Every structure is written in structure tokens, then in C-alpha cells.
Amino acid sequence: MKVKVGAYCRVSTDKDDQINSLESQKKYFNDYIKSKGEWELVDIYADEGISGTQVKNRIEFQRMIEDARNRRLDLILTKEISRFARNTLDSIEYTRMLRKLGIGVIFINDNINTLDGDGELRLTIMAGIAQDESRRTSERVKWGQKRRMEQGVVFGRELLGYSLKKGVLTVNEEEAQIVRMIFHKYAIEGKGTHIIARELYEAGIKSKKHRNKWSNGAILKILKNEKYVGDLLQKKTITPDYLDHKKKYNEGEEEFVYIKNHHSPIIERDLWEKTKLELQKRTSSGEQRSKYSNRYWCSGKVICGECGSKFICKSKKLKNGARYIAWICQQAKTQGKRRVDENGNTIGCNNESINHIIVSDAVNYILQLISYDKEQILAELMTEIKKLKHGQNIRSLEPLLRKIDTLIEKKQDVINLQIEGSISKDDMILMIKKYDKEIEKLKNEVESIEKYNFKSKEDNLQLYTDRIKAMLNGLKGNDFNEIYKRMVDKIIVFKNKTLEIYLSYMPASIKIHYNTVGRGENYNAVYELIIEI
């Protein structure tokens, strides 16, 4: 009975020369297995353009393991350990699992057979070397990328208004007109991001990916992108771990690369500065929020139960002079009824709007049903608040402290270089002075943030105390807006006239059903508790 053999091969990028290498590997295994008379080729498992450090992302590798579990294979061939996995843990884990099934893995170039007595020991050593080589390769790539960034080479994807080719940004004039329009509407005409998104959609203007789908988030991203004024900021995201390749926002862990006047701008710097000021003005917490955030307690808290979008406010003046206020799903407002567009994307929403009175009355209805000991709740809430180490406004010191530690290490390195005779004493003194100046500047910044954080903690504690007391003492009239704002985390609106309300001090939600009665001045709603937890 012949030995059923599978072969695994992989190339780490999708460049043409590497793909050719993949074809060569396939031919090699075909010839190698044919040369063994007792072997029978079952399949060749080949992953293209996939890193070796993450086994879970390699579809063909996983298919091979599944075939092994199903006893379709007796033996697996691969040219070398670095092709199989550059993660030592993965190499050992999978070869052990295969050996328990009676399936060996032969690493041809490394002369290792995992079924041999010393196979695992030799594999562990060689896999560790392969993993370390992956780490060094990652560091070399990062170093090279940063040098190229400093030289002005652009990394990333194309964006609206620009074409990107071989690291060079060039203005796409047709798209640039859309960008200028967005900045003008926001900074000059004073329109909000939701309104701008709706106007672009209604005008049939398409985004970079040729989709007639705009959101306030997309508009904000454009307004905050420094590339439109001709500047270039890179390393906004980083990959801290070379093994899992997960990206995260750079919060000071690595140095940014910023080049001013790097490429042709789409907007003037005056308009850019005006936009920055307007963004700060409209989003500054506590001082000046958007008009709806100031006016309505539930802004940002009402969520669509059908599509997950936020509800936005719409209002109109009635014939009798009164103002009708309602909330509607953003997707329903901007895209209309739920449907599939010409590109196959599902857009829109079928959820219905809800009267602002119903939202407020529903919360009031729930609060009246809840009985509580005011003093006990106040004591418990204050105990929890005091446990908090950081308030919402607390700024992190970690990035600055890490920079100070790095500079101290660099000072020591300079001293060591002078002792070794690699640099002169004068050079050492100059470099140490430079580092000391940077350290002093960072220490002053740390001290400033510490003072700010201390004051924020005290201010927040007093603010929370005052508001909790106000909530528990049951203020009247307009004061309920502030109470509702603090007591309600979110409200989910479903199509069947059902609301799911999450209160800030309760571990679970409460669902209620409502029915509307009458119209105009006789308008009313009847509420029925569905679930109380």
C-alpha cells in the first residue's frame, strides 16, 4: 500500500518573481514524490502572498491540516521550516498534533523528520532560528520603510482627490473639486457633516470607490486629513507584534514622520486652519457642542434596531406655531428604503421615525416604575466613582515616559561609544546636551499633564456628585433633560413600536411597547412594560 503524501509550499509576497517561485516549488515536489516509488501524491497545498507568521490566515495550510485529520494523508513534505511556519509555537503545535495522528512532516532542506526520535528537538531549535529571522526581517523592513517615509515616499492607499503611484501623490482634478466643495461647505457655509453627506448623496456625487454612499464619518475623515493642504503625516498606524500583524493607532509608541509642503495641495492653508478651528469649536467637550447635542438630551443615544445606525433629529414648524420633533434612522434619512444598489451593496433602512415626546415619556414611564433608596444609591455610586483612577479627560503619560526612558538609554549609549573611542569627547558632550534638552522638555510636559489630570479628577468628582444628587432628588421641568442625559446610556428603536432602554446604573435593559393615540394636540402614547430585568 502506497504512502499518501501531501506537499506544502508558500511564498511570502504576491510579486511576479515570487509567484514564479511558487510554480517552481510545485514542480519540485511533483518530481520529488514521483522519484519515490512507494509514495503517492495526494495534493499540493500552496499559499500565495501570505506571511508565514500567521498560520490561521493560510487557507491552503488549514485545508492540509483538515485533510490530515480526515486521514487523507500519511506524510507531509515541505522544503524548509520557514516555509511551514516562522512561529515556533505553531511549528511545534501542528507537528505534535500530526505525529499523534501518525503523520510525519519532512523538512527536506533541514533534513528533519518529525517521526524521528530527535526530530522535535531539532525542529524546536531550527524553528526558533526561523522565528528570530522573521523578527529581524520585520525590523529591517520597518527601518527601510521609515527611511523611505523620511525621503517623502508615500505609503498607503489612494484617497479622494489624489492618485497614488509608486509612492507619489498627484492631484486628480475631477475628485479635487469634490474635496474643495466639502471644505467650503463646512468651514465657509457652516454646514454640518450630516448635511454635507446628505447633499452629496442627493447630488449624485460618488466617492473614491464610485459609491453614492456618504456618511458624517467619511466627511470628518476628509476634513481631518492633512494631505489636502499638501502636508504628509505617516506612521499613523503601527504593527507592534511581527507575529500577529495586527495594526493599531500610533499613540506615541513610535515616532511619526511629518513633512510639511510635501506635495501639491488641494486646499489653501488658510482654509485648512479655518477648518481645524471650526472642528475644535464644534467638537470641544463640555464647552460648545453641536446644536442638536445641546438641545436634545438623547442625541447620539438613539440607535436603530434594524441596521444599527444612529437616529438623527428632524424638526419642523407646524401650522399652529408648535414645533414637531422626531428621530429617524440616519440610513433611512440619507439612503431611503432598504434596497440593493447598482453595485450590489445593501443600503437604506425600513425603520420608522419616532416622536421625541415618546422617547422622553418612555424614559419617564420607566423611572416612575423603579423604586429605590436614594441615599443608598448615592453612596454606592460615589464609592464606585472614587475608585476610578482616570476620568474621561485624563491624559495618558505613558508615551511621554517611554520617550524619556528611550532618551536616557541613548545618553548611556553615547557615553559607551566615547569610552570605546568611537566618537570624540566633544561629540559626546554635544549629543548629551541635545538629549538633556529633549528630556527637560518632556519632563515639563509630564508635569503640566499631571497638574491637569489632578484638576480634572477633582472637577469630575464634584460634577458627578452634583448631578447624581439632582437625579435622585427629582428635578422638575427642563431639569429632566439633564437627568435623562446622565441616566440613559442608549435607546434601541425597533419597527414593532418597541423600545429597549439601557439605564446607566442598571446591568440589563428594559423593553417597553407603545401605542400612539390621537393626533395634534390630542396626541398621546400608551406604554406597556414587556420585560423588566
Domain ranges of the chain: 3-147, 152-283
SS3 (DSSP) at 516: strand
The pTM assigned to this predicted structure is 0.39
Cell 466643495 identifies what position? 181
Tell me, what DSSP letter sits at residue 2? P
Nearest-angstrom CA–CA distance, 299 and 301:
5
Cell readout for 75 is 506524510
Specify the 3-state DSSP secondary structure of 60.
helix
To the nearest 5 percent, what fractions of the chain are helix, strand and coil? 50, 20, 35
For residues 1 and 59, is the Cβ–Cβ distance under 8 A?
Answer: no
Beta strands in 157-289 (DSSP E): 162-165, 168-171, 232-234, 237-238, 248-249, 257-259
Rounded Cα distance, 424 and 132, in Å: 35
| d(C-alpha 314, C-alpha 332), whole Å | 12
152-283 and 3-147 share a CATH fold: no
Q: How much of the chain, in percent, has pLDDT values that exceed 90?
A: 14
What pLDDT is stored for residue 290 in this prediction?
A: 41
Among residues 264, 280, 257, 236, the alpha carbon closest in space to that of 179 is found at: 264
φ/ψ (deg, to 5) at 329: -60, 135
Partner residues linked to 208 by β-bridges: none
| pLDDT tens, residue order, the chain (533 aa) | 789 999 998 765 544 445 556 678 778 888 888 888 889 889 988 887 555 445 566 788 889 999 999 999 999 998 887 777 656 667 788 888 898 899 999 988 888 888 887 777 777 777 677 667 767 777 777 787 788 888 888 888 888 989 988 889 899 999 999 999 999 999 988 888 888 888 888 888 887 765 667 887 889 889 999 999 999 888 877 776 655 556 777 766 777 888 889 999 999 999 999 998 888 877 653 333 444 444 678 888 899 999 888 999 888 877 777 778 899 998 888 788 888 877 677 788 999 999 888 888 888 877 766 655 555 555 655 565 555 544 445 556 677 777 887 888 777 777 766 666 667 777 778 778 888 888 888 888 877 776 655 555 555 555 555 555 555 554 444 445 666 777 788 899 998 888 998 887 666 678 888 876 555 545 555 666 554 43
C-alpha cell at 508: 440589563
Task: Domain 3-147: give its CATH code.
Answer: 3.40.50.1390
CB half-sphere exposure, 132, CA atoms < 13 A: 6
What contacts 435, CB < 8 A, 6 or more positions away? 407, 408, 410, 411, 414
Which residues sit opposite 312 in a β-bridge?
328
φ and ψ at residue 224, rounded to 5 degrees:
-100, 0
Q: CB neighbours (10 Å) of residue 186?
A: 24
User: In Å, how far are 59, 143, 145, 237, 459 from 139, measured between CA atoms?
Assistant: 26, 6, 10, 16, 45
Do residues 491 and 302 lie in contact, with contact meaning Cβ atoms separated by under 8 Å? yes
- DSSP 8-state symbol, 38: T
What's the gap between Cα 6 and its chain centre?
39
* Interatomic CA distance for residues 205 and 202, integer angstroms: 8
Helix (H) or strand (E) holding 312: strand 311-317
Element (H, E) at 80: none
3-state secondary structure of 510: strand
Q: What pLDDT was estimated at residue 68?
A: 92
Can you give the length of the chain in residues?
A: 533
Q: How far apart are CA 493 and CA 298, in angstroms?
A: 13
The answer to whether 391 touches 457, Cβ cutoff 8 Å, is: yes
CA distance 441 to 515: 63
Residue 268's pLDDT is what? 93
CATH of domain 152-283: 3.90.1750.20
Count of beta carbons in the 10 Å neighbourhood of residue 28? 16
Contact (CB, 8 A) for 108 and 80: yes
Residues 356, 323: contact at Cβ < 8 Å?
Answer: no
Q: Phi and psi of 287, rounded to 5°? A: -95, -55
Residues 6 or more apart whose Cβ sits within 8 Å of residue 462: none
CA-CA-CA-CA dihedral for 134, 140, 143, 146, to nearest 10: -80
State the first-to-last Cα distance of the chain, in angstroms, to the nearest integer: 65
